[in-house]
Amino acid sequence: MKFLILAILALVVFRMVFHKWPWEMFRESEKSQQRAQARALLGVDRNASREDILAAHRRLILTAHPDKGGSPEEVFRIDAARDILLEQTVPTKR
């Protein structure tokens, strides 16, 4: 019983110090890993703009499209990488 109370207390203290629950820290780590993999796939750097991401996506889709000898799975991976990176960019007004 004491262990349970101490564990709950530790969780609350962690939340007060870091403003997040411990399991939320792992979720962010997964997202940053996904973003790194997406950047590697598209060949863009960490500070890539929205236009850079879209240009890299277009370039890869031209070679990966099933009509050009690619596969639907490859297109799906490229689209997913684009979407992951665009989540953190600010949309430009047209």
Looking up tokens 């799906």 gives: 76
Q: What does the domain layout of the chain look like in residue ranges?
A: 34-94
Read off the pLDDT band of 48 (50, 70, 90): very high
Fold of 34-94: Helix Hairpins (1.10.287)
Of residues 59 and 22, more confidently modeled: 59
CA torsion 55-59-64-68 (nearest 10°) is 130
Other CB atoms within 10 Å distance of the CB of residue 38: 21
Residue 31 pLDDT > 80: yes
- For the chain, what percent of residues have pLDDT higher than 70? 93
Residue 40 pLDDT > 90: yes
